[in-house]
Amino acid sequence: MRLRLTIAYDGGPYAGWQSQPQGNAVQDLLEKAFWKIAGTRVAVHGSGRTDAGVHALGQCAHVEVFGKMDPGDWQRALNANLPPTIRIVKSGRVAADFHARFSAKAKVYRYLVRNRPVLPPHEFGRVWHVPHTLDIETLRRAAAVLTGCHDFAAFSANRGKAARETVRTIRKIAISCRTGLIALTFEGDGFLYKMVRMLTAAMIRVAQQGENLDILRARLKKGAPKWNHVAPAEGLYLVRVLY
């Protein structure tokens, strides 16, 4: 049976999603939980990587399992064998040709910024604290510049072959602000390594320093120099994967 899992996690304690030699990635802990339950190695295939410190509300993965346990049984068993900072929020059976990565059509990320002089202590490690005033309308204009199909090479840390395949389509960037908490929600057909964090840093800098939006337009041209600023990992959330 092929299971599709929807996974939420606090990225703070972990070395990202993808398996690491030290065994401290979310994928490692999921595979260890399957080992405890099934007594055999089960490969967990995720929709894509998240960096160390990045959170997820709706990471997606698939696994091949055997035996009489149904998806609900697997969800309960996995949560009983995972740390409380990783939860299986949904488990269901899918067709044998479903692939968490290759079947994905789009992803939604959200970046949270606390724009107040003082950071509430319960938000530490979960938002980017930017104490200086930001112009929300400038943020929205920056979002309009970046929306659409562009070459985002200047806003990525990709290397090798991935560095040559840098055209992506951002379907929309929604900006909301309530009591000083700014949410930037990105929906796109795919995102390059650190792309959302670099775009966020660029948008925040423009909104903070009142720089001309041409600074963003120039970075979308082929051969443009890299954007050198990256927003902290702790403000970023993988919200959901669209299929």
Which residues are the active-site residues? 51
Task: Please choose, from the candidates 35, 114, 119, the residue with its C-alpha nearest in 3D space to the C-alpha of residue 77.
Answer: 35
